[in-house]
Amino acid sequence: MKAKPVILVVDDQRENIELLEAYLVPQGYEIVKAANGEEALAMLSGVRIDLILLDVMMPGMNGFEVTRRIREDETHRLLPIILVTALRETEDRVKGIEAGCDDFISKPVDKIEVLARVRSLLKVKAYNDLMSNYRKELESEVTRRTEELKHAFERTKAASLETIYRLSIASEYKDQETGAHIKRMSRYSAAVARCIGLDEGTVESILYAAPMHDVGKIGIPDRILMKQGKLDPAEWKIMKQHTVIGANILSGSDAEFIRLAESIARHHHEKWDGSGYPNSLKGEEIPIACRIAAIADVFDALTSKRPYKGPLSVEQALTIIMEGKGSHFDPSVVDAFFAVQDEILTIKKQYG
């Protein structure tokens, strides 16, 4: 059953309230009463009000001030207010409009006028309430759909990262350690990037790009890639080409993280002192993502089993990393790596 519209009648004269009540109650309206402005304002916080009939000339707080106070509350910004007044001067009407009232009724009140103005403003309020509820429902639906899209996007990102891992593993499918290495190395890189202070978008791009650092090994012959012993100079020259091959495979993409992967594939073997390959870049000539990927790759390679060697202990690997500070590795990246050492070890254990 639809609730009756509730009208708050505010007047310091009891007979005026009773007259309005006599007009309105038979029309199906519920009446609540207040004898002054302070009492009216207090009622607004505890009672549902659909319209206010407000006397202007009251002791203490007059109707203009009550109207201003009501309009200061965003909750009651659209609550219909009719000022009931004996004042007929244009200046007084302007004051009421400036305070925020919606209409006027002159005293002595006329029943037909009262009912007509009340019905008109209640229709406006019903429309405003309908639009407000529609807006809230729309906002709720948008929020729900946004959350659904967010979850779907997260699932898509997770699937994309898994696809990247699997395609990267394909380049070294004969090495049983490669899959775990790729996952560890990419997460090491993300942890260091975040510690350095790169924004989350860049951190995520590095997470997605780093697994492809050795994709170029797909072009290296198995006899070199899987050789048990040390490579000779000719073999080493071929092996170093995996950086260029990988960059060529990844070149030409419009996707930001693929472009970043191209850079990492080409430059993750560059060294801070310029003695790396393939371009002998030095210092900050090496892109920051490549400097980060380099330390992550070396640490994981040192602590992992390879066809040509056994794994070193974490302590031994950390010592080698520190010894390479300023020569092999960017000093600031080394500092960040050691700052997230606990996270690095947790990742290693998780994906070991």
CA–CA distance, 117 with 81 (Å, rounded to integer):
11
Which residues lie closer than 8 Å to 124 by C-beta, 6 or more apart?
A: 80, 102
The arrangement of strands across the sheet holding 6-10 comes to 30-34, 6-10, 51-55, 81-85, 103-106
Give Rg (Cα) of the chain.
38
**The pLDDT value given to residue 41:** 93
Give the torsion sign (CA, 188, 192, 198, 200). Answer: positive
Which residues lie closer than 8 Å to 334 by C-beta, 6 or more apart?
A: 295, 321, 322, 324, 325
Which residues lie closer than 8 Å to 216 by C-beta, 6 or more apart?
A: 171, 241, 242, 243, 244, 245, 246, 247, 248, 249, 265
CA–CA distance, 28 with 327 (Å, rounded to integer):
88
Residue 236 Cα to chain centre, angstroms: 47
Task: State the pTM of this model.
Answer: 0.57
C-beta of residue 246 within 8 angstroms of C-beta of residue 304? no
**The pLDDT value given to residue 281:** 97
CA–CA distance, 141 with 146 (Å, rounded to integer):
8
C-beta of residue 118 within 8 angstroms of C-beta of residue 24? yes
List the domains of the chain with CATH numbers.
Answer: 6-140 (3.40.50.2300), 171-350 (1.10.3210.10)
Q: DSSP letters of 8-21?
A: EEE-S-HHHHHHHH
**The pLDDT value given to residue 182:** 84
C-beta of residue 194 within 8 angstroms of C-beta of residue 203? yes
pLDDT tens figures, 259-285: 999 999 999 999 999 999 999 999 999
Give CB contacts under 8 A, 24+ apart, made by 250-258: 250/212, 250/215, 256/205, 257/204, 257/205, 257/208, 257/209, 258/209
CA–CA distance, 339 with 270 (Å, rounded to integer):
23
Q: Tell me which residues of the chain have a pLDDT lower than 50.
A: 1
Backbone φ and ψ for 152, nearest 5 degrees, come out as: -65, -40
